[in-house]
Structure 1
Amino acid sequence: MADDDNQHSTSQSIKARLQEGNQNSVFRNKGLLELDTVIDEDRIVGRDDQLDNIISYIRPALQGNRPPNMLLYGPSGTGKSLIINAVCEQVLELANSQGDRFGVIKINCQTVSSHDRAIYRLVENAAQKAGVDIGVPESGVSTDQKLNRFYEILSNNLDSIIIILDEIDLLLGRRRNPDDEPAYSKLLYQLSRASHLGRIGGHVSVAAITNDPRFMQNLDGRAESSFNPQDVIFSDYDADQLQAILKRRKDAYQDDVLNGGIIPLSAALAAQDHGDARKAIDLFRKAGEIADRETEDMVHENHVRHAQKEARRDRTLTQMQGLSTQKKLSLYATAVSSVYSQRNLDAIPSTVAYRVYQFLVDILDVEEKSRESYLRYMNEAETYNLVTSQKRGRGFGSGVHKEYTFIDDSEVVVETLETDFRLEDAKHEGDLIKSVVNAQINNFFEGS
């Protein structure tokens, strides 16, 4: 009986704490800061030209005509998906009010591994929009059968369709060699020719979204001719535009919970990172989440800086997933050499980092690899965009060495690597590692 009472008390306590967290949150409508939210047109900032162009291209759908195909390109986080989705939502509402059978079908190609899988995703999406059965299995039938089913659903249920293919350049498919036609080329050819060939009764337009300005150069000649899109170019946001974007979403928060410097700081930090609005919004949201975790009733600048550090750590962790212990040790030795250096070095000589690596493998009881292996591991880290390198000479007869500079904060790299259980013992030897780092740095420069 006592156990039942204790369990009931614990259950009540959890419920009370959950409800208290909701009541005391700094957020009013957190959904406004979710990256996949389709926002109202009055929240769109700094994209007037692109908005006007896309409206003019899609307007014919409301007049019973076929819109042109479109190619939206520009850096990540510059509003491509935001604008096309916002316009299509409005067209959908107007078409429905007129009794027109208009549809928008969207897939994100980042999660699609092949041409066959892309077609099946289109069938799934079209069937859901039309409220009909998919009609074909995911496997066990040919891609042509799936494509025919897709055309059948569209012809029977819609008179005008816009197909949005987000991040289309990532749909490469299974290619035996780099010269093979990418899967997106075949897909664009099939979709853009469907109406002309009578495969679909209504009008079909394709809006392809990519970060790659050279995307059209990689298309097969037939696909390029058939697709023949209207280009809509998106440039980076500047800090003022990012501020305006965040101001139009500040009602995601409760009244009077934002410190005055929150929006300018979030915008400035995102502007440094190539003007990516997604990162600005993500930073703005994460700052509030940190304030909630800390049961603060205000969001301060330190929450934004904490959010930026968490974002960098998450990005670094993603980049490091799958690295072997030896690769992580090589990276860790180089990063701690940067963090612990009393000379505040921007670039770490490979000679120093390798000596630190040798010390680390000794205290962690790990097999020691050669200097050539260390350099090979660091070359791989460079391909992962974790470091940059350049060769340096030390004077006549002294040879050449490499110097490594971290793209993100080396302290974040150290903290992230120390979460790996194979490296956690190094965390407890900080003072000893620091002395080894500076001894090796002093030896390096005094010997030059």
Structure 2
Amino acid sequence: MADNTGSQQSLNDIWASEDAIFARKELLDIDHIPDEDRIIGRDEEIEDVASSIHPAVRGKSPRNTLIYGKTGTGKSLVAKHVTQSAKQFAETNDTDMGRVYIDCTQSTTETRVVINIARNLNSPEATNISIPVTGLSTDVYYHRLWNILDELYDVAVIILDEIDKLKDSEILMQLSRAGEAGKVDSCKVGIIAISNKISFKDTLDERVLSSLQDREFVFPPYDANQLRNIMHNRSDAFHDGVLTDDVIPLSAAFAAQEHGDARKALDILRNAGELAKDAGADQVLEEHVRDAREKADIDRFAQLLEGQPPQIKATVYSLSLLADNNPDESEFSTRQIYDVYKQLTALLDMDTLSHRRMADRLGEQVFLDILGRSERVGRGRGQGVTHYYFLMEDPEVVKQVIHQDDRFADVNNVSI
């Protein structure tokens, strides 16, 4: 019988050891809702959103609200903080207020969103209503959601984050017209929809726009000073003396280059701490920050590409090869990308899609913020519009992420 005494002792040493770097690591989690005094540079935005849903704390109908802004500008944080505060205040007014947060990058269909709303708001022991994860029609899920709302709540505020990732907007119609259409009798329903795309409303049809009757707020990017303050206000995530003086300014400078992205700033700071910890260092140094920035880029892009099929990776990889081999150019036409794509799929022994189908895959990646796209109108009579695509990340980062897929592991030395 194998003697595992040594391995058990090693585990015991790990469990008993203190974390030399982090004191309250959760403060660096972007999903963590901090106390209001830790929320920097968003006082006006907090007041705007609070004003919009203010009637909810007394059981009346809140205004539907659309929040726009680039990634990491505090949209989700403010929406979560304001609704959490509203729910607590509502209790003092004997108002039963429900609040639920839905990440539409994880729930991309109408049915999945309805299921998650219902499951989050339901108390089965009180309603005697079950919400199975599969097996019912969308109409039945809606019917059960309306019953839950009327049974348990005077008012409910539903946060739909990254709403532009939904495959259709029917959920907005259903929720915004629930009272008017007689779906709910007593519960008032409000929506806070959040999008990185300020053009999101342009994709909605007139019926949805008419029923929403929303207020709109645009969150500006953080500047470098605000990013520094955000990180200083969460520096007690680390033990005293762990952060050297240049760590926070450098993390803020890197994040400011990314359009004032607080999410990236916190990712860099957390990753720097983890790298220092893994190295057995006593302090977080500038070198850890620089390495953490690269890791944050890779992690973000890996998350975007996670679960994407090989054909998608092949189109993105083809663009990265073009960008790598043509450093003086930033954008490439569909035809240029397709020429490289055909060579790449042949080398990898993959099926080669038609030009049109590959172009459709490129368009999907623009929708997912993996690629960017511009248009150029041809000169002369009868000339159409040509789409040009560009990477949203450094080509080396893109290739490093795609190389993690075994199918692409051997393509590292391919020259096209």
TM-score normalised to structure 2 length: 0.78
1:189 & 1:71 partners in 2: Cα distance? Answer: 14
Gaps in structure 1 of 5+ consecutive residues: 173-181, 339-344, 392-402, 441-448
Alignment of 1:352-431 (within 5 A): 408-413=393-398, 415-416=400-401
Listed one character per residue, the Cα deviations across residues 158-189 of structure 1 (whole Å, up to 9, x for unaligned) are: 112111111112111xxxxxxxxx2x2x2222
Q: After TM superposition, list the pairs within 5 Å mapping 1:53-68 onto structure 2.
A: 53-68=48-63
Supply the distance in 1 between the matched residues of 2:103 and 2:213 (Cα, whole angstroms): 21
Structure 2 CA distance for partners of 1:134 and 1:258, relative to 1, 3 Å:
farther
- Answer yes or no: is the 8 Å Cα contact 2:105–2:165 preserved in 1: yes
CA distance 1:252–1:337, shift in 2 (3 Å): same
The aligned residue for residue 145 of structure 1 is 140
Deviations 1:247-274 (A, max 9, x none): 1111111111001111111111111112
CA-CA distance at 1:411 after TM superposition = 4.4
Structure 1: distance between partners of 2:55 and 2:75: 20
Distance 1:129 1:140 in 2: 18
Counterpart residue identity of residue 44, structure 2: D
Report whether the alignment pairs 1:103 with 2:88.
no
The 1-side partners of 2:87 and 2:54 are apart by 11
User: Alpha carbons of 1:283 and 1:222: their partners in 2 closer, same or farther (altered >3 Å)?
Assistant: same
How far apart in 2 are the matches of 1:314 and 1:93?
Answer: 35
Would you say 1:191 and 2:175 are equivalent positions? Answer: yes
What does the per-residue CA deviation read over 1:79-105, in whole Å, with 9 as the maximum and x for residues that have no partner?
A: 111111101111111222333211112
The 5 A counterparts of 1:49-198 are 49-128=44-123, 132-172=127-167, 182=168, 184=169, 186-198=170-182
Q: Are the counterparts in 1 of residues 242 and 283 from structure 2 also a CA contact under 8 Å?
A: yes
Q: Any conservation in 1 of the 2:59–2:96 contact (CA below 8 Å)?
A: no
Q: CA deviation at 1:150?
A: 0.9
Partner residue, 1:216: 201
State the one-letter code of the partner of 1:7. N
Q: Distance in 2 between matches of 1:327 and 1:102?
A: 47
Q: 2:7 aligns with which of 7, 10, 15?
A: 10
Aligned length: 385
- Shift in CA distance, 143/276, structure 1 to aligned 2, threshold 3 Å: same
**Match in the other structure for 1:236:** 221
The counterpart of 1:313, out of the listed 298, 305, 317, is: 298
Give the direction of change, closer, same or farther, for the CA distance of 1:10–1:387 in structure 2 (3 Å limit).
same
Determine helix, strand or coil for the equivalent of 2:282.
Answer: coil
**Contact 2:244/2:283 (8 A) holds in 1:** yes
Answer yes or no: is the 8 Å Cα contact 1:103–1:158 preserved in 2. Answer: yes
Query: What is residue 270 of structure 2 aligned with on the other side?
Result: 285
| RMSD (Å), alpha carbons | 3.9
User: How far 1:142 moved relative to its partner?
Assistant: 3.0
Shift of 1:290: 0.7
Q: Is the 8 A contact 1:331 1:381 kept in 2?
A: no
Map Cα deviations across residues 396-423 of structure 1 (whole Å, 9 max, x no partner): xxxxxxx998764444456556656567
Cα 1:14/1:53, change in 2 over 3 Å? same
Displacement of 1:228 in angstroms is 0.4
The answer to whether the 8 A contact 2:58-2:90 is kept is no
Distance 2:193 2:394 in 1: 35
Secondary structure of 2:293's aligned partner: helix
| 2: CA distance, partners of 1:130 / 1:233 | 41
When residues 263 and 156 of structure 1 are mapped into structure 2, their CA distance, relative to the original with a 3 A threshold, is same
In the alignment, what sits opposite 1:276?
Answer: 261
For the Cα contact (< 8 Å) 1:160–1:202, is it kept in 2? yes
Task: Return the alpha-carbon distance in structure 2 between the equivalents of residues 379 and 97 of structure 1.
Answer: 53
The residue matched to 1:258 in structure 2 has which SS?
Answer: coil
The aligned counterpart of 2:31 is 36
1:251 corresponding residue in structure 2: 236
Identity within the alignment, %: 35
Gaps of at least 5 residues in structure 2 are: 377-387
| Structure 1 Cα separation of the partners of residues 34 and 106 of structure 2 | 23
Which deviates more, 111-120 or 29-38? 111-120
Offset from partner CA, 1:51-90 (integer Å, 9 cap, x none): 1111222222233432211111111211111111101111
* Cross-structure match for 1:203: 188
| Larger-Rg structure | 1
The offset of 1:153, in angstroms, is 1.0
* Whole-Å separation in 2 of the counterparts to 1:305 and 1:161: 44
Q: Relative to 1, partners in 2 of residues 1:411 and 1:160: Cα closer, same or farther, differing over 3 Å?
A: closer
